[in-house]
Amino acid sequence: MYILGISCYYHDAAACLLKDGEVFVAAEEERFSRIKHDYSFPKNAIKFCLEYAGIKSKDISFVVFNEKPFLKFERIIKTILSTSPCSAGLFQEAIINWMSDKLWIKSIIEEELGVSSDKILFSKHHISHAASSFFCSPFSEAAVLTCDGVGEWTSVALGKCTSNWNGKGRNEIQLLEEIRFPHSLGLLYSVFTAFLGFKVNEGEYKVMGMSAFGKPKYVDKIYKLIKIGSDGSFYLDMKYFAYHYHTRKSFSRHFEKLFGKPRDPRLRFVTDSTSLYDYTEPPTEKEKETNQYYADVAASIQRVTEDILINMTNYLYKKTRLNKLCLAGGVALNCVANYRILEETPIEEIFIQPSAGDGGGAMGAALYVYHCLLAKPRRFIMRHVFLGKEYNNDQIESFLKKNNINYQYIEDERKLINTVVEALVSGKVVGWYHGRFEWGPRALGNRSILADPRDGKMKDIVNIKIKFREPFRPFAPSVLQDKVNEFFEISSYKEHFPLRFMLYALPVKKKELIPAVTHIDGSSRIQLVDSQTNPRYYKLIDRFYQITGVPVVLNTSFNLKGEPIVNSPEEAFATFSKSGMDMLVLENFIIAK
């Protein structure tokens, strides 16, 4: 049985194909269209999924969309009516967008795939989120917390899930309580993302990175915007916001009166704590003072977000008495908050599906239909994210020869890894391309840029000369699973799936040995690497460990600023050519500058 899940028309369009209840193949549309956070109908991702499975659309049992379009349209129309005449622009935009395609998703699916309407199903947005986490987790029973900007009406949902493993139990997702639009923790964080000069639905992780350079001095000011209930619930004072009626502006003049002028995104970010490696002109005291204020604002909204999530988790535990938690929705990508939940609540284990945002809704919608509507038993745990497209050595060699690119072919894997590690140890930056590309926003060793974490200057080199992005942005360490306790503080090991997917930020024990992957606050967003799910990457890090005594490499996604992670060898070579990378490894081929 094949079930195709689809998400699109907001951001991060994606497709996922289940084969007899197991996630078989999945990809975001941006990897094929090369449009960052592409929200259009994922025709390329769908085509890839079907081709990888070797099937036609007629072989699909069901196609599932990740939300209910008419419920979402109801929310938009009611919001427009309640905020008129301020919402005149929103009304015009909604009519154009919704009347052209968003309301007719069923017809579009029929037309694009040639499937009959009785095969097309719809799942509620936060049900899709919950299913995307729980039905990928190893848990038979768990509490669930979903938190994002907004689905149809819901922005936060609390509940519990049960499953049928080996004929025992029942597959069920119960969302017990919710918070509704316009009150939204995800949208609150996005408002500050815009205020701090970053793009909404893309720059939220930059706010998290910037927050480490500040102190949460303005928490009291933020609590003028949001009121917290004893049960962890909250509501926003909407006079400070404009996102519910404005098409381009997310905060009001009252917000600006409270927090001041928004940060100009064109200005460089410098404080007393940031590196000055890239600055030809030293920053002025005024410049540092101004940026320090914005860093403190970032630290404040980060702290408030963490505290609210902890409050809600504590309430959820009291309600369910379940110490296993599934998190989903875009807010679940906040790795600092995730680790605080693990450390500061009764929760003992957490699972977060790596594409926790809207893209993951495609997977969740398909899993919900298979397990809850069709009542099929569980058989799948997401142990890795390598679900995308791959190119073999023959395809890579054909590309290299066609374009007259000089290369070295190394058939022996051990020799290949030795060559790459020697380059890393000598200070070179390596583009690493292997196997199927990753599902979700993180590069986890198949489409990665690698460097030596022991060199303190490497963070600036990779940010400025390789990625062409803000110098304050941190990098992740990929660490051997059996060595994690030597370099990072983790209270209890267990399996900790979020560590596989870069979804916890842990305190670093040996900061002096890995400065390039240690953030200014002494933490790192780490990735555990095991020999079963990614043997070649594990061998590379293990060889680096044998030579240096450090079981860690610096890992960042294989892309330049503003671009999706690379998919094809052509894209990998183009990125390599435009950047300051020293070496490119395409499976068994090495290209050097």
- The total of structural domains in the chain comes to 1
Domain assignment present for residue 317? The answer is: no
Find the mean pLDDT for residues 299-307.
98
Residue written as tokens 């907004």? Answer: 150
The Cβ of residue 48 has, within 10 Å, a number of other Cβ atoms equal to 22
> CA–CA distance from 196 to each of 209, 268, 471 (Å)?
12, 12, 16
Of 85-94, 111-120, 466-475, the one with minimum mean pLDDT is: 466-475
Element (H, E) at 140: none
**Residue 583: how many CA atoms within 13 Å on its side-chain side?**
23
> For the chain, first and last CA: distance in Å?
48
227-266 residue pLDDT tens: 999 888 999 999 999 999 998 899 999 999 999 999 999 8
Q: How confident is the model at residue 298 (pLDDT cuts 50, 70, 90)?
A: very high
416-447 residue pLDDT tens: 999 999 999 999 999 999 999 999 999 999 99
529-562 residue pLDDT tens: 999 999 999 999 999 999 999 999 999 999 998 9
CB proximity list for 428: less than 8 A, separation 6 or greater: 451, 582, 583
CA distance 127 to 3: 17
Token duo for residue 496: 């900790």
Backbone angles phi, psi at 527, to 5 degrees: -125, 120
Domain assignment present for residue 534? The answer is: yes
**Coil, helix or strand at residue 391:** coil
Q: Is 40 exposed, middle or buried (0-12, 13-18, 19+ CB in 10 A)?
A: middle
**Coil, helix or strand at residue 300:** helix
For the chain, give the mean pLDDT: 94
CA distance 408 to 585: 10
Of 116-120, 278-282, 312-316, 481-485, the one with minimum mean pLDDT is: 278-282
Find the mean pLDDT for residues 121-135.
98
| DSSP state, residue 566 | P
Domain assignment present for residue 186? The answer is: no
Per-residue pLDDT at 230:
86
Strands 234-236 and 226-228: antiparallel
Element (H, E) at 421: helix 413-425
Find the mean pLDDT for residues 15-40.
97
Say if residue 493's pLDDT is above 80.
no
**Coil, helix or strand at residue 65:** strand
CA distance 270 to 274: 6
Question: CATH no. for residue 517?
Answer: 3.90.870.20
CA distance 368 to 374: 9
Question: Considering the chain, what percentage of its residues have pLDDT values greater than 90?
Answer: 86
Domain assignment present for residue 473? The answer is: yes
Domain assignment present for residue 332? The answer is: no
457-471 residue pLDDT tens: 998 899 888 888 887
Domain assignment present for residue 510? The answer is: yes
Domain assignment present for residue 146? The answer is: no
Which range of residues forms the domain containing residue 511?
A: 393-592
**Residue 138: how many CA atoms within 13 Å on its side-chain side?**
9
Say if residue 152's pLDDT is above 60.
yes
266-282 residue pLDDT tens: 888 888 766 554 455 77
Q: What is the DSSP string of 148-192?
A: -S-SSSEEEEEEEEE--BTTBS--EEEEEEEEETT--HHHHHHHH
Burial 302-328 (b: 16+ CB within 10 A, else e): bbbbbbbbbbbbbbbbebbebebbbbb
Domain assignment present for residue 226? The answer is: no
- For residues 241 and 251, the answer to whether their CB atoms sit within 8 Å is yes
Q: Residue 146's beta-bridge partner residues?
A: 157, 328
Find the mean pLDDT for residues 52-62.
97
472-492 residue pLDDT tens: 888 999 999 999 999 999 876
